[in-house]
Amino acid sequence: MSFVHPLLLIGLVAASIPIVIHLLNKRRFRIVDWAAMEFLLASMRKNNRRLRIEEILLLVLRTLLVALLAFAVARPILGSGGLAAFLSGAKRTAVILFDTSFSMGYRQGTATSLSRGKEAAGAILSELRGGDSVVLTSFTRSPHALIKEPTTDLRLAAAEIDRLVLSHDSSDALAALESVYETARACDAPTKTVYLISDLHAISFNQERLKDPGLVRKLEELSRVAELVIVDVGFEEPGNLAVMPPKIDSTILTPGSTFTVSGIVKNYTPSPQTLRVDLLLDGSTQGTTTVKPDPQGEASVSFIANVSTEGTHVVELKLEPDNLDLDNRSYLSVLVRQGFKVLLVDGAPGKEKADSAAFYVKEALMPEGGESLAAAKPEVVSVEALPSIVFDEFDVVVFANVARLPSEVVQQVASYTERGGSLLFFLGDNVDRTFYNESLRALTGCELREVKTETAGLTVKDYSHPAFRLFKGLRLTRIESATFKSRWLVKVDADKDTGSSAGTVLMEFGSGEAALTERRCGDGKVFLFTSSADTRWSDFPTRPAYPAFVNELVRYAARDPSRSLNIAVGDNLVARLPAEFFARKIDLDMPGGQQTSLSPVPEGNWVICRQPSVPYAGVYTIRAEGLERQYVANLPADESNLQRISVGELRKVLSGVEFKYRRGYRAEAGPTTGESPSEITRLLLYGLIVIALGELFLAQRFTR
Range of weakest confidence among 208-217, 347-356, 467-476: 467-476
Same domain, yes or no, for 299 and 367?
no
Same domain, yes or no, for 145 and 160?
yes
Say what the pLDDT of residue 479 is.
84
Q: What is the signed CA dihedral for 681, 682, 684, 688, rounded to 10 degrees?
A: 130
Domain stops at, among 508, 536, 557 = 557
pLDDT band at 187 (very low <50, low <70, confident <90, very high): confident
Residue 189 pLDDT exceeds 90: no
Any domain includes 635: no
- Judge whether 346 and 358 are in contact, CB under 8 Å: yes
What domain count does the chain have?
4
If you average pLDDT over residues 198-213, what whole number do you get?
A: 92
If you average pLDDT over residues 307-318, what whole number do you get?
A: 96
Range of weakest confidence among 4-13, 230-239, 315-324, 510-519: 4-13
Nearest to 93 by CA among 222, 191, 197: 191
Residue 224, amino acid: R
Same domain, yes or no, for 288 and 324?
yes
Nearest to 659 by CA among 182, 205, 294, 14: 205
Residue 504, amino acid: T
Same domain, yes or no, for 264 and 214?
no
Collapsed DSSP state (helix, strand, coil) of residue 559: coil
Say what the pLDDT of residue 517 is.
96
| Number of Cβ atoms within 10 Å of the Cβ of 562 | 21
Say what the pLDDT of residue 278 is.
97
Same domain, yes or no, for 329 and 370?
no
Is the dihedral angle over the CA atoms 427, 429, 431, 432 positive or is it negative? positive
Nearest to 164 by CA among 144, 135, 148, 181: 144
Say what the pLDDT of residue 538 is.
95
Same domain, yes or no, for 446 and 523?
yes
Write down the pTM of the prediction.
0.75
Residue 250 pLDDT exceeds 90: no
- Strand extents, DSSP E, 219-372: 227-232, 240-243, 247-248, 258-268, 275-281, 284-291, 298-306, 311-319, 329-336, 340-346
Is the dihedral angle over the CA atoms 76, 79, 85, 89 positive or is it negative? positive
Q: How do 566-568 and 627-634 pair as beta strands?
A: parallel
Q: Please state at what angle helix 38-74 crosses helix 17-27, rounded to 10 degrees.
A: 160
CA distances from 64 to 51, 56, 356, 681, 690 (A): 20, 12, 112, 15, 11
Domain stops at, among 301, 335, 369 = 335
Q: Taking the mean position of all CA atoms in its chain, how far away is CA 129?
A: 36
Q: Which residue has the higher pLDDT, 315 or 671?
A: 315
| Number of Cβ atoms within 10 Å of the Cβ of 307 | 20
CATH number at residue 296: 2.60.40.10
Domain stops at, among 496, 527, 557 = 557
Percentage of the chain exceeding pLDDT 70: 86
pLDDT band at 676 (very low <50, low <70, confident <90, very high): very low
Same domain, yes or no, for 113 and 64?
no
Q: How far apart are CA 424 and CA 528, in angstroms?
A: 6
Q: How far apart are CA 78 and CA 86, in angstroms?
A: 11
If you average pLDDT over residues 112-135, what whole number do you get?
A: 94
Question: What residues have CB less than 8 Å from 274, skipping those under 6 apart?
Answer: 290, 291, 292
If you average pLDDT over residues 671-681, what whole number do you get?
A: 45
Residue 673 pLDDT exceeds 60: no
Rg of the chain on CA atoms, in Å? 41
Question: What residues have CB less than 8 Å from 443, skipping those under 6 apart?
Answer: 413, 414, 417, 423, 519, 521, 526
CATH number at residue 182: 3.40.50.410
CATH number at residue 533: 3.40.50.880
Residue 283 pLDDT exceeds 90: yes
**Helices within 167-287 (DSSP H only):** 173-179, 181-186, 213-225
For residue 168, report the phi and psi dihedrals to the nearest 5 degrees.
-105, 15
If you average pLDDT over residues 48-73, what whole number do you get?
A: 74
Question: What residues have CB less than 8 Å from 474, skipping those under 6 apart?
Answer: none
Q: Which residue has the higher pLDDT, 72 or 500?
A: 72
Q: Which residue has the higher pLDDT, 50 or 309?
A: 309
Model pLDDT for residues 612-654, shown as the tens digit of each residue: 999 999 999 999 999 999 999 999 988 899 999 999 999 998 9
Any domain includes 604: no
Q: How far apart are CA 198 and CA 348, in angstroms?
A: 66
- Judge whether 337 and 561 are in contact, CB under 8 Å: yes
Any domain includes 517: yes
Say what the pLDDT of residue 442 is.
92
Say what the pLDDT of residue 408 is.
95
Say what the pLDDT of residue 384 is.
95
Any domain includes 585: no
Say what the pLDDT of residue 678 is.
44
- Judge whether 423 and 553 are in contact, CB under 8 Å: no
Residue 362 pLDDT exceeds 60: yes
Say what the pLDDT of residue 672 is.
38
Say what the pLDDT of residue 290 is.
96
Range of weakest confidence among 274-283, 496-505, 539-548, 565-574: 496-505
Say what the pLDDT of residue 85 is.
44
Q: How far apart are CA 560 and CA 556, in angstroms?
A: 9
Residue 3 pLDDT exceeds 60: no
Same domain, yes or no, for 696 and 663?
no
If you average pLDDT over residues 242-266, what whole number do you get?
A: 93
Give the residue numbers spanning the domain of 472: 340-557
Any domain includes 159: yes
Q: Which residue has the higher pLDDT, 115 or 28?
A: 115
Percentage of the chain exceeding pLDDT 90: 65
Same domain, yes or no, for 159 and 253?
no
For residue 522, report the phi and psi dihedrals to the nearest 5 degrees.
60, -130
Any domain includes 597: no
How many Cα atoms within 13 Å fall on the side-chain side of residue 86? 3
Question: What residues have CB less than 8 Å from 36, skipping those under 6 apart?
Answer: none
- Judge whether 295 and 304 are in contact, CB under 8 Å: no
Q: How far apart are CA 92 and CA 131, in angstroms?
A: 8
If you average pLDDT over residues 574-593, what whole number do you get?
A: 92
Q: How far apart are CA 382 and CA 343, in angstroms?
A: 10
If you average pLDDT over residues 117-121, what whole number do you get?
A: 96
Any domain includes 391: yes
Q: How do 247-248 and 275-281 pair as beta strands?
A: unpaired
Say what the pLDDT of residue 671 is.
41
Q: How far apart are CA 426 and CA 404, in angstroms?
A: 13
Same domain, yes or no, for 121 and 185?
yes
Say what the pLDDT of residue 56 is.
78
Any domain includes 11: yes
pLDDT band at 379 (very low <50, low <70, confident <90, very high): very high
If you average pLDDT over residues 326-334, what whole number do you get?
A: 97
Same domain, yes or no, for 553 and 409?
yes
Q: How do 111-112 and 107-108 pair as beta strands?
A: antiparallel
How many Cα atoms within 13 Å fall on the side-chain side of residue 574? 11
Model pLDDT for residues 406-446, shown as the tens digit of each residue: 999 999 999 999 988 999 999 999 999 999 999 999 999 99
Say what the pLDDT of residue 677 is.
40
Nearest to 452 by CA among 539, 510, 535: 510
Distant-in-sequence contacts of 22-30, Cβ < 8 A, 24+ apart = 22/55, 22/59
- Burial class for 238, CB neighbours closer than 10 Å (0-12, 13-18, 19+): buried
Question: What residues have CB less than 8 Å from 580, skipping those under 6 apart?
Answer: none
Same domain, yes or no, for 428 and 531?
yes
Residue 34 pLDDT exceeds 70: no
Give ∠ CA 260-265-268 in degrees, rounded to 5. Answer: 170
Say what the pLDDT of residue 86 is.
47
Residue 75 pLDDT exceeds 70: no
Say what the pLDDT of residue 63 is.
80
